Structure 1
Amino acid sequence: MGNGSAIDAESIDASVRVMQKQLDKGVHKVQYKHTQGGQFEQRNGRPREARITVTPGIHQVGGYFDIQWWENGDYKYHYREQGLEFRFGREESNQSTEMPVRHFHPPDDVTKHLPSCIGGGHPPERVTLAVIATWWAAVKAGDESVLNTQDGLP
């Protein structure tokens, strides 16, 4: 992802702020990765990635989102809880392939690239709100099959 573009730390920070504002006490911990392959830790400089630990989970007590943004507009929101994971992303380099640029990796097969229900050309704040909306729909239903089925998202 990123197609050679630099990491966009400001967009990562914007995404974290939206998660904290929308989920409030549902955000239990925010950690950052500062180097490729590094460990998640307290903020110490420009982040490469943020990890936001949240409750509730879809089937578990909680889970976490790993979030990355690149300066070309690519992004990754990867959610995991025990026994479940999915990912929303935008990958510009997919333009030259049959895979969708804006895509969803479903829980039943995270190697699949399905078209995303999240619209294109939006700033990190709106994309984060859309990701939260899809995740929350699954939490309320207790059913991950409702992920990526929403209409009218940014």
Structure 2
Amino acid sequence: MASITQSICECLFGADYHKVDTISDENAVAADVLRALFNANEGGEHLRKSVQDIIGARGWTENIAKRILGGIENALRESAQMGKTMAEASNKAIAEATGFAQDHPYFCAVIAVGILVILMPWVLEALGFAELGPVEGSFAAWWQSTYRGYVTKDSLFAFFQRLGMVWHRTIVET
């Protein structure tokens, strides 16, 4: 039977998390911080002091910060139960992300195109990223024109164009 600590760690760090007795000191600290964050019903100075008491003299390390971030990501993906403070912070962050999307529609459009490319590569051709280059009058041609003749090899446009040039062969070969 799994211990409660192992169950919490698996929830926060993912199901493939290994046995509790192999947890490093930093994993244990990160798990304690995550527990404090997710159980907090008030923020501010009280929460800061609770977390600082857990961190102690060791101080913050990159590994602790990464584990805490990963734990929050996993908990959000799995809709983990949160205390009042974490729920409010989560809702505020989601609202800010929505605001960012509204303020930067082109950035969000690029992400949307990337999602489509991953899910349905043939969308590239529909957008004008063809095997022989951008199709005249298409979205791809318009996008290429915004570069004013200089498309760098590491640009997002170049990435989509490369995919457009090979997606037929990739599908045929698989």
What TM-score, normalized by structure 1, do the two folds share? Answer: 0.21
Larger helix percent: 2
Larger strand percent: 1
Structure number with bigger Rg = 2
Q: Higher RCO, 1 or 2 (CA under 8 Å, sep at least 6)?
A: 1
